[in-house]
Structure formats: C-alpha cells, structure tokens
Structure 1
C-alpha cells in the first residue's frame, strides 16, 4: 500500500465522522414582557412543579447555547429559617435576620433538553450561574449576595449535578412549608423532604457573613429588620436571667431595672454583635413589649405619671454606661462563664483568646468560638499590658487554666505568645496556634528554621487531600 492510498483512506474516514463543535454557554437576565411570557410557559411545561411564584428580589435567568434557550433559572429570596444553613454560616438569630438577603435561593432550575441529549449540561449551567450571579444581582438590586442555596427532591433526583458543580449538601429538611394563610399554622407539613445544598459565591463568604463590617457592595443587602429578634431561645433566656440575677449589685439606689434583666440585655446585645454602649442601648430599644416583660423591665409611665399596664421601658445610654462602669466585672465574668459552660456542655474545636477594651468603661478578655464569634468564657482586665493580676496576659492565662480545652485549638495574637500561656493551654489538654512577630527575634528565627527543615508537600497530593477534606466537611 502506497503512502497516497493510506492518506486517501484516512481522509475519507475523517469525512465520514460527525464533527461536534462545542459552543459556549451564556447566561443573561430575561427582559421584556414577551420573554417573560415565554419563560413562564416553558417553565410550566418542562418543570414538574410548574411555574414559580417568588416574592422579594427575584431574577429570571436564561442560559443559551448558540442563541438557543437551553435552561431556565429563577433566583429569589432565601428561606427565612433553616437550622442546618444557619449552623453552617454560624449565624445568631439577629444577624440572620439582618443579613438574610445576602443569601439567594435557586427556586427553579429547568433543563429544556431531553435527558442524555447534552452531557454535563446541568452542572455546567450551575457553574456558570454561580460565577455570573453576583455581578447580575448587584446590577439589578444594588448589592452582592454571598451564598446560594437550593433544594433537591430526594424522591426524584440524587443531586449529582450539584455535587459536580461543587455545592455542599447540608442534610435533609423535615418536610415543612411556610404559609401565610390565617387558618393554618405558620409552618405546615408537605410530606416532601428535600436535600439542602449551599454554594458560597465568594471564597471568603462565611467570614464576611459574620464580620462586623461588610464590604461596600454587600451593605445594601444587610438591611433586614431585626427588631425583637433574640440571639437565644426562651429556655436559654430564662436560664441566663436566673444566672445573672445573682451577680453582685453595686447600686445604692435607682434599682428600677433588675440586675438580671439589665445584664441579660447586655449579654444578648453583645451576642448580636454590639461592641459599644450605644449599640447595647439600640438593642434594648428594639425589644418588643413581651420581651421587656419577660426580662422584668419596669412599667412605663405617661407624662402625667400614669402607669401604662402594657408598656415597659428599657435602660437608656446613660443608665447603661453608669451601670457598667461600676459593675463588679469579676463576679459578672464568673457567673456568665458558669452559665455558658452549663448551656454549651462542651467547648468548640477552634477557640480564640483576645482582649477588648471599650474606653474607660470596661475591659474584657474572652475565649471565643473562632467560627461564630460567640464567647465561651470571659473575665475582666484593667489594662492590655503590664504586671499584675488584672492585665490581659494574666487574666487570659487564668481563663485558659480554668477551661477544659480537650480537642480544642486555641489561637492568639503576638501579645499572648509567651511560654506560660502556651503551658496553660497544654495543661488544659488543648493545642496552641500563636502569632510570632519580629519583637521576639530568637523565637521567630527558630520557628523559621523548623519550617525550612521540613520537606515541602507535593502540590498534587496536597490538592487531592484538600478535595477529600472538602467532601468530608
């Protein structure tokens, strides 16, 4: 066989084969009355649940391939309360209400192709949507969402496409639907449990959702009304009041506000993110009348001095400032730490040791849950550095020695990078993660020598291990 005949055979074989050209998927917002009408008709025809009706900020997206409509998506407001999601984010109740708009829900996902006609279409659409959605959302509504959520009916699909698109399953729902019908309970059973999936829309989404200051492009979405939203349930509020009413009361007069109630307000305000007396005062003013009564707040009075039976007042800024300035913080810290230990039962896996000083009102050293920011032990300190039992170093060591740190990693800044502090953590069965700065040159030099002596980890193995960890998480 000559070279020419071989070439002709290969050429004819190539011509007989079907050549497939990949066309990139594109995504855009549905525009105009005609497109919306077409969108709704196709959704009603192809999706087993029919056309969606979503309130709040809602966006209809169409995914095209070569100009042809390939898939439809409806994104809207997140579910009001999902225990698994809120635990995943690490939200207290008040922060959830304020920032819930930063979570968007994929309400409908409709594929317009026959099953098997286009391989990997669903996962590719999901990947494209999560990449482009933040930009589309901020142009439409003025803020950038940070987390996406959706549900998958376990009776119809296993959620393989979500797994392939790097979504994380958070378990199966209990099968309830929220309703506004007056003749029904707030949540009614629907007998259709679903798998909850989430996907961060920013690599730092979980930290940002819990941070004190949001990025500028997210702030407009954190405008939820948190009035009357408490960070603790009824049982925890009752036990907190009972624990704090035994704190030493330094007031000689003006005890119209009970110490258990006023301290409960302070603690719950701090759990909700308050870091100043003004913020605590604002939290107190947002309490409902029923919540004020629960905390034994005094009745309000009219200008004529008449008692209003169903109205209760809360302490203002001046009252809170004077109260906290004279408070026995040592006794308060002991009572609060004992309550935290009784409520939590066990300490979280990752803790942080830090001190916060608010002008001349108070200074507090705390061991906090590094993932949620919730304190698990607190004590008073008079100054950040220096000798004596009231400086941050000494108070921090005492907190660590008095805590059970089994299976806990305690991180701290360079101030606490001391042998005695490390020994306190070790004696409490914990592990240390300390920051080293150049003001300890010998220690920094030794640490660098230890790191440089270790063999680098193979990048491919490291990536593989990272994948396995993310699946376990």
Structure 2
C-alpha cells in the first residue's frame, strides 16, 4: 500500500512527465481506502476544491483515494443513504417498512473530487468510480458488517452532466425537490434541485430490496442493520388514538409511561422486526424525538426530552393487555398505512408453539396475511376437534376486505362453500391449491385446462 506523499499540500498533483496515451495512464490508476493519518489532508482538499466546500459525512462511511504513480488524482467518499427520496422509493418500489429495515444496504456517493483538470484526462472520473464500485460492497462488509446492494448519488446538473455516472451504469431516476436536511426532523429549501442517480451493485438488487422473503444469509444482517422507524409522525399519532380504547390494568401513582404509548412502541417495533422485550427497547431507541412525542411519550421534567420504555415496562404492560383486541386495533391501523394492503391476502393456518389445550394438543390459529409485506391483519383460533375449513368464513368477515380482493389458500380450502363465500359474498377472487387427494376435482381441472374451456 502506497505511503502518504511526502509533500501533503502538493500530494494531489500529477507527475510532471508528459503522458500522451490516456488509456495507458488509466491502467496505472489504483484505488485504496484512506489511511487514518491521511484524514486531515483529505478533508482539507474537499473543503478547498469540492464545490460543496464541506468534508462532513453522515452516518457510516468509507473514504477512498485514487493514485497514479503514488500521487493522488481523485478523492471519493461513501456514506449513509438519504432517509427519504421519492424517486428512489419509486425506483425500488419498496414499502415504508421495507425501507426502514433495508435502507442501510443503500449507500450514498456523497463526495467525488477529481484533482487534475478534467480536460486532461476526460475518462479518469469513470475509471476511478468503476474501481471503487468493484470493491465497495466487500469493504463495507468488512467495516460495517453488511454488504451494499445499491449506490445513490446526487448531481448538480447546473455544474456537471453526470457523464461518469452514466458510464458506470447509473440511471438518472428523477430530480430532488431542492430541500436540505436542517436537523434530525426538519428540512429547509435551498432552491437547487439535483438529479438522483442510482445503480445496483449486484444483479437483481432492486428486486431483492422489495421482495417479502430474503435469503437466509441476509436475514440476520437485515436484523442487525435495521434503520429508522418507517412511519411518519402523523401516522403514529393515529395509532395512539386507537390504542387509547384499551383499558390499563396497572394501578397506582408514578407511572412513567402511559399504556397506549408502550403498546404503540411495541407494535411499531414488531413491524420493524423486533422480537422480545429487550429488542423492543433497543429498537425504540432509534426513534426520533418527534416520533416518540407522536406515539404519546411524556416529556421528562429534568431535561425536557422523550425516552422510550424499558424492557421491563414492555413486559408488565403486554402481560396485562387483551391480546386479541390489541391485534385487531393494530391490524386495522396497518390497513390505513399500507395502501393496497388488502388487494391480495393469504389465509394460512399455524400451530402456536408452546401452547397446549386440555386435550394436550397445541392451539391452532388461522391467520389473514398480506402478500407483499407478510403483515398479519387478523387471526382466530381453530375450534377443538375441527380444522381450518369452517374458520375461513369468520376470519374473512372480521378482516372485511374490499371487493376485488384475491384470497389465496392451500388445498385444504379448495371447497365449494369457501369459493362461493369469497366470490358471492365478498365479491373477490380465489386462488386455491389442488392436490391429488381430491382426485375428482383434479381430473376435471386438468381436462378443462387442456381444453381451455373454463370461464375466465
């Protein structure tokens, strides 16, 4: 690894010998991570020569230098992605919940400075950017313990054309609205919209970010890298209003947190992937002051700030609440937050682990789950000495999906009464599995499919 140049103020300058062939020059360009003792010079050059005149990066970050024959020719830095970008969210097509959990897998090319004159080496910028992109995910994994799937960058098209980004496979997806983040919860207009460029670092990364089920290798990384709360403050306030209908079993003075605040925190934490009281507490620590206030947190008298509940508070409150009523309220609230959540529903039965009835058999539940986000909207217990078939109708009546909904279920529900209820009473459609155990229906279906004679 090349040592820091002996003359720091001149370290960015090119070797004085003339170079006739740009292709041969670019082959000698290398990229490496910045060394800690090189930070002052790196920051000084960004402050003096980058058009933003600012070296400060946000969140997790990596800094690189590009060298030619031991001399710095470019500086490039990557940092945490922007919290909210309308064009990016439309390009990925992920939900607010998915964005909150997977935003750390998107990084921002926040600074890029080519030191020699661009006219001298017109392809230097794309060469440096390409070399960085090849190693970025691996370096990020080593430093921050998770890979990078997508890279974003902003280009001020009043000064630059974004040619090097296009050359490296970036796509221009839309202009920003011209706002800059002034504090954790507020943005101010600056009147300079920029073009947003996005690029996948691995094939299918965009599809991976929006798909419901992740590969096992990424699930654990997703849980560790979970980002901020996905819901805006107004949506959290509406959840608080609903939970106020539940009675509080706790008694006595000096209660630090109201029950509805604790329940709202538990609900949102669960949607962010938390499982367990300690996980609830750790997840809620990521909420902003505005979000905690919207969830109903009471301000501390000592310092005027809002603080999340502890794990023991979650335990006390959740043990005393009506679980069925709590689930119903959260389910109805989710429908309002996720537009189109009821367009496709899956009905599925599960055995509740660790449960037991008087006959020794475990409790079985039939649940209605959204396809895209796998959110459980409601569930009912299956009666003893029964199965899922008669429970389908009361479950869907509780959910009350809109006309046109598609209900999917396994082969057990391939019954005439279930199909009639979905199509005639709910006004929806069904997609049932069909197995060889129902030989008569299976034979008839195969014959009709071969003839293409069934009604659409």
Q: Do residues 403 (structure 1) and 401 (structure 2) align? A: yes
Alpha-carbon shift at residue 42 of structure 1 (Å)? 8.0
User: Which digits, 9 at most, give the CA deviation of each residue in 1:296-323, with x for residues without a partner?
Assistant: 68999xxxxxxxxx98967745535533
Q: Distance in 1 between matches of 2:135 and 2:378?
A: 43
- Give the aligned partner of residue 191 of structure 2: 191
- How far off its partner does 1:144 sit? 1.6
What residue in structure 1 maps to residue 244 of structure 2? 245
1:368: which partner in 2? 370
Deviation at 1:106, TM superposition (A): 0.8
2: distance between equivalents of 1:33 and 1:345?
47
Correspondence 1:57 to 2:56? no
Mapped pair 1:145 → 2:156: no
Instruction: Report if the CA contact (8 A) 1:333-1:380 is conserved.
Output: no
Evaluate the alpha carbon distance shift between residue 349 and residue 35 of structure 1 in structure 2; reply closer, same or farther with a 3 A threshold. Answer: farther
**Which deviates the most, 198-207 or 287-296?**
287-296
- The alpha-carbon deviation at position 60 of structure 1 amounts to 0.9
CA distance in 1, matches of 2:165, 2:448: 42
Inter-partner Cα distance in structure 2 for 1:68 and 1:451: 70
The alignment partner of 1:108 has SS state of: strand
1:285-300 alignment, distance < 5 Å? none
Is the Cα contact below 8 Å between 1:169 and 1:197 reproduced in 2? Answer: yes
The alpha-carbon distance between structure 1 residues 21 and 222, as it changes in their structure 2 partners (threshold 3 A), is: same
* 8 Å contact kept, 1:281–1:320: no
Distance 1:210 1:104 in 2: 19
Name the CA shift for 1:46/1:278 in 2 (closer, same or farther; >3 Å). closer
**1:270 aligned partner:** 270
Q: Which residue of 2 aligns with 1:319?
A: 316
Q: How do 1:34-113 and structure 2 match up within 5 A?
A: 48-49=51-52, 52-54=55-57, 56-62=60-66, 73-82=76-85, 84-85=87-88, 88=92, 90=94, 92=96, 96=100, 100-110=103-113
Distance (whole Å) between structure 2 residues aligned to residue 230 and residue 179 of structure 1: 19
Which residue of structure 1 lines up, in the alignment, with residue 232 of structure 2? 233
2: CA distance, partners of 1:415 / 1:171 = 47
- Does the 8 Å CA contact 1:277/1:320 hold for their aligned counterparts? no
8 Å CA contact 1:177–1:188 kept in 2: the answer is yes
Structure 2 distance, partners of 1:34, 1:265, is 43
> How much has 1:151 moved relative to structure 2?
0.9
List gaps (5 residues or longer) in structure 2: 1-20, 301-305, 356-362
Deviation per CA, 1:254-300: give whole Å up to 9, x if none: 59887655543443233222455775576678889997786668999
Structure 2: distance between partners of 1:160 and 1:424: 58
Kept after mapping to 1: 8 A contact 2:94/2:209: no
Following superposition, the deviation at residue 138 of structure 1 comes to 2.5
Give 3-state SS (helix, strand or coil) of 1:58's partner: strand
Residues in 1 aligned to 2:276 and 2:351: alpha-carbon distance in whole angstroms: 10
Deviations along 1:168-203, one digit per CA (max 9) or x if unpaired, are: 44432222233569xxx9544332111223333343
- Decide whether the 8 Å contact of 2:102 with 2:226 is kept in 1: no
User: Contact 2:243–2:326 (CA<8 Å) still a contact in 1?
Assistant: yes
- Equivalence for 1:378: 378
2:12 maps to which residue?
none
1:69 Cα deviation (Å)? 8.0
Q: Could you say if the C-alpha distance between residues 441 and 177 of structure 1 is closer, same or farther in structure 2, counting changes exceeding 3 Å?
A: farther
Q: TM-score scaled to structure 2, two decimals?
A: 0.62
Count of equivalent residues: 410
Go from structure 1 to structure 2 and tell me whether the alpha carbon gap of 1:436 and 1:48 turns closer, same or farther (over 3 Å shift). Answer: farther
Q: 1:164–1:396: structure 2 CA closer, same or farther, 3 Å change rule?
A: farther
Q: 1:358 to 1:250 in 2, by over 3 A?
A: farther
Question: Any idea what SS the aligned residue of 1:73 has?
Answer: strand
- In structure 2, what is the Cα distance between the partners aligned to 1:158 and 1:425? 55
